[in-house]
Structure 1
Amino acid sequence: MKTITTTEALEEFCTRAASYPYVTVDTEFLRERTYYSKLCLVQLAVPGEDDDEDAVLVDPLVEGLSLEPMYRLFRNEDVVKVFHAARQDLEIFFVEADVFPTPLFDTQVAAMVCGFGDQVGYETLVRKIARAQLDKSSRFTDWSRRPLTPAQKHYAIGDVTHLRVIYEWLAAELEKSGRAKWVREELRVLTNPATYTIEPGEAWKRLKTRTNSGRFLAVARELARFREGYAQARNIPRNRVMKDDALLELASTKPRSIQELGRSRLLLREARKGEIAEGILAAVTAGTELPNDQVPKPQNGGKEKLQVNPALADLLRVLLKARCEQEKVAQKLIASAADLDALAAGKRDVAALKGWRAEVFGEDAVRLCDGKLALAAKGQHVKVIEV
């Protein structure tokens, strides 16, 4: 396999790749010590069997190497860019260069549509489709260290060479089943900038709280806003500023001075002084003094108020399982437990009632809720009966 270390070599490979119908892509990165992922390696492969020529490793850590030839290839609408579980890879390219590889194909999403179960792993697809085995011994190595070992290179290149076989098999299956449009619908969210943009003011919504107190949530929101902005500006993990349990403790105790802040049981020592301490105290003050009509509402408040018919929710789960077994598609891709509860409570603004999901499950789910369908057991299968 070839390792590309110059812009000229990358330009040559990407120019050649532009003549093929698709290119497979993967990355290796680190995120333990930074807020944004640090790109350490890019793997690319075009159709072919000579991996010394048709698959390459691109080293973005080499001084002077520009990835612009690769980004031009990503923008080329004539070449499909194939990934497995693309979300983290796409976030890197969006943050680094404000680019999304299009058109995009994600083999994990496609495999779920083709009946391989929920969030099927790459290793499973390699074994079942490519009939090969992966050496995963280098999976958790430090990809920022140089030189890369032969074992690391062998592991990395396998993530794009087997992907060619998997892509071609899945693409053929989707063509036969007419489900390619299902995958395209699913992939729209992956190329939406909002998927990767974390607004500090919205960061509090990821916190797991056990209280419905609006004032507590107001302080927690301001603390989360400060933490997210501070971490983004300095490219450090948010937990290096303060961990979730410390944030929630501070939202409860509401310290108003350095002395009170020092009594925290969970706050990191570095956060008890300097800029972080000042930011925490300012956030507590902002949340505490927020007018009552501006305090946030609990995120789970709407769910708790749903009047769910438990028997109907159970029937919807049976219908979902039956439809997914019949269509050989992963249940998780169709509807979540929350979707089913919402349907059983009379809600009709759920994702399961839109697009291709409506064809597979949603339309029948509404008819079941309206008493126009019934379910019956027939052997080991569930039969849907018109009423």
Structure 2
Amino acid sequence: MQTITTTDALAAFCEAARGHDYVTVDTEFLRERTYYSRLCLVQLAMPGKGNEGAVLVDPIAGGEALSLDPLYALFEDTTVVKVFHAARQDLEIFQVDAGVIPTPLFDTQVAAMVCGFGEQAGYETLVKRIAKAAVDKSSRFTDWSRRPLTEAQMTYALADVTHLRQIYEFLARKIESTGREKWVADELAVLRDPDTYRTDPAEAWRRVKTRNTAPKFLAILRELARFREEFAQTRDVPRARIFKDDALLELAATKPQTPEDLGRSRLLLREARKGEIADGILAAVKAGLECPPDRLPRIETETRDAPNPALADLLRVLLKARSEQSGVAAKLIANAADLDHMAAGGRDVPALSGWRHEVFGADALRLCRGEIGLVVRGETVEAVPL
């Protein structure tokens, strides 16, 4: 197993990778003690068998001797497809570190859901079904920041990119043969969008679940969430280390205005009752209380008509049938909320546009209009005109 710890060695690998159509990529990282993921290892593999053409890139062991610039240059080379499985967290690391998103991109989890592998298209499942192999799970939850890496860790890490080659080649052929390249590309659009990996502190309050929709309460909540996010980002610590959501909601409700008020909090961590965090909390509460009426946040409550339950059930049957017939995971086509919305007369759902319209949406609309019915023939459900 080759481990790369220098820029020159990484550059040599990336130059060799440019002679191939694709390279498989995976990472190992830690995030329990930081806001941003700490990259511990990058696994790469060119086409080949076994560990041939596969390497581990070790930024920890390499230290200052290793720059990832050659890898980022490869990521921007549009002649080489960069293959990941469940790429969201991997891509976030590269986007935050260098503002780079690999192009072109292929995610085997997305492709597998389009190709009939169901809604739980996990890597181990694909390895078993396509590569006819097994993945050793024993190193999954190890501390990837500790050095030296064990033989078991390195074997596990390389398996994440060596089996991925066979999975990619199989899925790429299947997608091409079925003409579903655009389907996969549409699903990867969110992963390719840099905004997917940016967290705006001003919008952090929207992730906090609350039933209180009073504008003044939300204004304080917004300022507290903004402070917490900015503090966490600048210090690179998890937001929960500053104060958790339950404490945030308590603070927004009790509106502390003095250090003594903070001392009476039931949920606030002891470290947050003094120093910079305490000052930030009090300043955030003050800013929320002084928010002008025209800038108060409001949660728009969408009023939807109640769905026709019988129609909603029929749409679910149709979705299941179309999912089985097309070999596309049902949750990739439509979710339960979309079906209920359609059964209530709504039409602004993803299932009614793009490739989803072709697979399911067109017949779903006809079903809603009473133009078709559903019949059972053997073990299949078919649509028939009325």
The bucket for the TM-score relative to the shorter chain is over 0.9
| Superimposed CA distance per residue, residues 85-124 of structure 1 (whole angstroms, 9 cap, x where no aligned partner) | 0000000000111111111110000000011111411011
Question: Does the CA-based 8 Å contact 2:86-2:110 persist in structure 1?
Answer: yes
1:316 counterpart = 2:311: no
* RMSD over equivalenced CA pairs, Å: 1.4
Q: Distance in 2 between matches of 1:147 and 1:282?
A: 46
Q: Which residue of the partner structure matches residue 149 of structure 2? A: 148
Determine if contact 2:304/2:341 at 8 Å carries over to the other structure. no
1:135 maps to amino acid: D
Aligned to 2:55: 56
2:304/2:344 contact within 8 Å kept:
no
Within-5 A mapping of 1:98-247: 98-247=99-248
Which residue of 2 is the match for residue 37 of structure 1?
A: 37
Question: Post-superposition shift, 1:17?
Answer: 0.5
**Deviation at residue 381 of structure 1 after TM alignment:** 2.5
**Aligned partners of 2:259 and 2:225: how far apart in 1?**
19
Residue 48 of structure 2 aligns with an amino acid whose one-letter code is G
Distance in 2, matches of 1:70 and 1:188, equals 22
- Extract unaligned runs of 5+ from structure 1: none
Distance 1:259 1:379 in 2: 72
**Aligned-residue offset at 1:307:** 3.5
Secondary structure of 1:129 counterpart: helix
For 2:212 and 2:87, how far apart are their aligned partners in 1?
35
Secondary structure class of the residue paired with 1:26: strand
**Given residue 237 of structure 1, which amino acid in structure 2 is its aligned partner?**
P
Distance (Å, rounded) in 2 between the aligned partners of 1:96 and 1:75: 15
Unaligned runs of 5+ in 2: none
2-structure distance, mates of 1:133, 1:2 = 22
Paired residue type of 1:214: P
Counterpart AA for 2:308: N
Trace 1:336-375 onto structure 2 (pairs within 5 A): 336-375=335-374
What CA deviation, in whole Å up to 9, does each residue of 1:194-218 have, x standing for no partner? 1111101111111111223222222
| Number of equivalent positions | 384
Name the CA distance, whole Å, in 1 between partners of 2:18 and 2:245: 46
Partners of 2:319 and 2:270 in 1: CA distance: 50
The residue matched to 1:56 in structure 2 has which SS?
strand
AA aligned opposite 1:309: N
Give SS of 1:260's match.
helix
Write the distance in 1 (CA, Å) between the matches of 2:364 and 2:294.
39
Q: Is the 8 A contact 1:109 1:119 kept in 2?
A: no
| AA aligned opposite 1:75 | E
Name the CA distance, whole Å, in 1 between partners of 2:218 and 2:312.
31
Please state how far the C-alpha of 1:219 moved relative to its aligned partner.
Answer: 1.6
SS in 1 for 2:231: helix
Distance 1:251 1:311 in 2: 42
Give the whole-Å Cα distance in 2 for the aligned partners of 1:118 and 1:29: 25
- One-letter amino acid matched to 1:3: T
Q: Which residue of 2 aligns with 1:325?
A: 324
Structure 2 residue aligned with 1:76: 77
Q: 2 CA distance for matches of 1:246 and 1:12?
A: 51
* Aligned twin of 1:386: 385
Q: Secondary structure at the match of 2:47?
A: coil
Q: Work out whether 1:377 is the aligned partner of 2:376.
A: yes
Given the superposition, is the C-alpha separation of residues 263 and 305 from structure 1 closer, same or farther in structure 2, using an over 3 Å criterion?
A: farther
**Residue 50 of structure 1: CA displacement?**
5.3
1:279-315, Cα deviation, whole Å (9 max, x unpaired): 111111222232344322236x21x544333322222
1:112-148 residue CA offsets vs partner (Å, 9 max, x unmatched):
0011111411011111110001111111111111111
1:263 corresponds to which residue? 264
Tell me the SS of whatever aligns to 2:131: coil
TM-score by length of 2: 0.96
Amino acid at match of 2:364: A
Q: CA offsets, 1:304-339, max 9 Å, x none? A: 544333322222211111110111110111111221
So what's the TM-score if we normalise by structure 1? 0.96
| Alignment-derived partner of residue 272 in structure 1 | 273
Measured in 1, the distance between the counterparts of 2:247 and 2:305 equals 32
Partners of 1:9 and 1:349 in 2: CA distance: 51
**Residues 6-64 of structure 1: per-residue CA shift (max 9 Å, x gap):** 1111111110000001000000000011111011100000111252x410000112222
**1:27 and 2:43 matched:** no
Pairing 1:268-307 to 2, within 5 Å after superposition: 268-298=269-299, 301-302=301-302, 304-307=303-306
Give the Cα–Cα distance (whole angstroms) in 2 for the partners of residues 385 and 222 of structure 1: 56
**Which residue type is aligned with residue 70 of structure 1?**
L
| Distance change (3 Å), C-alpha of 1:197 and 1:119 | farther
Q: 364-373 or 325-334, which moves further after superposition? A: 364-373
Paired-residue identity, %: 67
SS at structure 2 position matched to 1:102: coil
